[in-house]
Amino acid sequence: MPQSAFKVLEVLEQADSPISGEIISTKIGITRAAVWKHINELRAMGYDISSSQKEGYRLKKTSSKLLPYEVLKKLKTRFIGKKMRYLENTPSTNWVGKQICSEGEVEKIHGLVIIAEEQTGGIGRMGRAWVSPSGGIWITIVLKPRIPIDHVFMVTMAGSVAVARAIRKEFDLGALIKWPNDIFIGNKKVAGLLLELSAEADTIHHCLLGIGIDVNVPLNQFSPELQKEITSISAELGHEVDRATFLARILKEFENRFLLIESGEYDAIVREWKSLSCTLEQRVHITTMKNSFEGDAIDIDEYGALIIRKDNGKIERVIAGDCFHR
Ligand code: BTN
């Protein structure tokens, strides 16, 4: 999408009455034919632009797609999301992230955000499928964190805290974190995070933080089984929300915490994670690759491990697995 198309959009946004193709062309310094071409490109992106021979063009409604242009207008970060890649449709944004990282120097794309309107092969934790119809936020943040590899789980913790905080601040909904990295409203899941890591010995090549949030997704888009377990922001509020403003907020909340991690302030993240946790002090059932057991969730450490006290008093440290609240 050429930059001049967004200049046309800017002119339309600033105009408080219809504006002729001739005035737009003079303002931007392009031909009237180019204005017409860009108007059609913008329409194809979902912007509702009316035109009349007498009066000219008018922006009636902004696009409901999660376009980088709309997010950038609201973004207050230093580096997260300053570069974005937008895809209407892709198997998985994490998969796209892997492709991009394999092509070049990750330092140069640190903070890149890949956005998909829809995913056809979304990936969840433990290799599960992640249903991603249009209306959600399906993104991957590409990172090259300067942290010790054993603290990499902190990145997901920062992501979970950022998503929960953003939901609370934007929509006043009581979002909480269920270990390891699910976001719940009441007893239903609204978002999930997935960290994929490429590393060698103690060097992190790159991290891909995938975030999936059911935002403006009608629940009938999901199977009856899933409908029992999940919710969406629009289902909770009874109306759709502005995804671009919400995403800009998430990215800012995430960047603040990512910078804390890079300066070694792990305690601050763990403290905030604990204050938003719905798992701590719960009776839980844990399933790992090796075994399954029950106990009380008593703590989380700075490596993201859940600490369980079993009924025989023995303490177990769980680094990966599924956790079911009893
Ligand atoms: C989970 O199982 O809870 C984690 C779900 C993570 C889904 C997101 S959506 C964007 C990114 N792309 C993917 O394929 N998965 C993650």
Rounded to an integer, the average pLDDT of 77-84 is 97
Domain final position from 13, 46, 61? 61
Residues 134 and 11 in one domain: no
Q: Could you tell me the distance, in angstroms and rounded to a whole number, from the CA of residue 96 to the centre of ligand 1?
A: 13
Name the closest-CA residue to atom 11, ligand 1.
210
Residues forming a β-bridge with 116? 87, 138
Residues 151 and 86 in one domain: yes
Q: Could you tell me the distance, in angstroms and rounded to a whole number, from the CA of residue 143 to the centre of ligand 1?
A: 16
Residues 17 and 119 in one domain: no
- DSSP E strand boundaries for 41-103: 48-52, 56-61, 84-90
Question: pLDDT at position 7, please?
Answer: 93
Pocket test for ligand 1, best of 194, 232, 254 (most atoms within 8 A of CB): 194
Q: Could you tell me the distance, in angstroms and rounded to a whole number, from the CA of residue 118 to the centre of ligand 1?
A: 12
Q: Which atom of ligand 1 is found nearest the CA of 189?
A: 3
Residues 110 and 251 in one domain: yes
Rounded to an integer, the average pLDDT of 63-73 is 94
Q: Which residue has the tokens 């997260």?
A: 80
CA distances for 111 relative to 3, 78, 93, 142, 271, angstroms: 22, 9, 14, 5, 25
Per the structure, how many domains does the chain have? Answer: 3
| CATH code (residue 310) | 2.30.30.100
Residues with CB under 6 A from ligand 1: 92-94, 119, 122-125, 128, 130, 132, 138-140, 182, 192-194, 210-212
Q: Could you tell me the distance, in angstroms and rounded to a whole number, from the CA of residue 211 to the centre of ligand 1?
A: 5
**Burial (Cβ within 10 Å: 0-12, 13-18, ≥19) of residue 206:** buried
Name the closest-CA residue to atom 7, ligand 1.
212
Name the closest-CA residue to atom 9, ligand 1.
212
Lowest mean pLDDT among 12-16, 40-44, 80-84, 201-205: 201-205
Residues 27 and 165 in one domain: no
Residues 156 and 82 in one domain: yes
Cis amide bond preceding 2, omega within 30: no
- DSSP E strand boundaries for 91-235: 113-119, 137-143, 175-178, 182-185, 188-200, 203-213
Is 238 in a helix, a strand, or coil?
A: coil
| CATH code (residue 51) | 1.10.10.10
Residues 94 and 54 in one domain: no
Q: Could you tell me the distance, in angstroms and rounded to a whole number, from the CA of residue 35 to the centre of ligand 1?
A: 39
Residues 96 and 171 in one domain: yes
- Name the CA dihedral angle for 317, 321, 325, 326, rounded to a multiple of 10 degrees: -80
Pocket test for ligand 1, best of 130, 138, 178 (most atoms within 8 A of CB): 130
Q: Could you tell me the distance, in angstroms and rounded to a whole number, from the CA of residue 194 to the centre of ligand 1?
A: 5
Token duo for residue 52 = 């009349």
CA–CA distance, 176 with 153 (Å, rounded to integer): 18
Residues forming a β-bridge with 49? 59
Cα Rg of the chain (Å, integer): 22
Rounded to an integer, the average pLDDT of 281-286 is 96
Is 217 in a helix, a strand, or coil?
A: coil
Position 85: which residue type? R
Q: Could you tell me the distance, in angstroms and rounded to a whole number, from the CA of residue 129 to the centre of ligand 1?
A: 8
Mean of all residue pLDDT scores within the chain: 95
Position 173: which residue type? L
Name the closest-CA residue to atom 3, ligand 1.
192
**Segment 81-126, tens digit of pLDDT:** 999 999 999 999 999 999 999 998 899 999 999 999 999 999 999 8
Domain that holds residue 292: 283-325
Pocket test for ligand 1, best of 138, 141, 189 (most atoms within 8 A of CB): 138
Q: How confident is the model at residue 302 (pLDDT cuts 50, 70, 90)?
A: confident
Q: How confident is the model at residue 202 (pLDDT cuts 50, 70, 90)?
A: confident
CA 225 to chain centroid:
24
Contact in structure between 63 and 46 (CB atoms under 8 Å): yes
Q: Which atom of ligand 1 is found nearest the CA of 91?
A: 14
Is 35 in a helix, a strand, or coil?
A: helix
Q: Which atom of ligand 1 is found nearest the CA of 94?
A: 12
**Segment 135-150, tens digit of pLDDT:** 999 999 999 999 999 9
CA–CA distance, 326 with 296 (Å, rounded to integer): 10
Q: What angle do CA 67, 59, 68 make, to 5 degrees?
A: 10
Residues 30 and 173 in one domain: no
Question: pLDDT at position 1, please?
Answer: 61
Q: How confident is the model at residue 2 (pLDDT cuts 50, 70, 90)?
A: low
Q: Which atom of ligand 1 is found nearest the CA of 119?
A: 14
Pocket test for ligand 1, best of 113, 114, 123, 254 (most atoms within 8 A of CB): 123
CA distances for 279 relative to 21, 189, 247, angstroms: 58, 13, 26
Domain final position from 256, 275, 294? 275
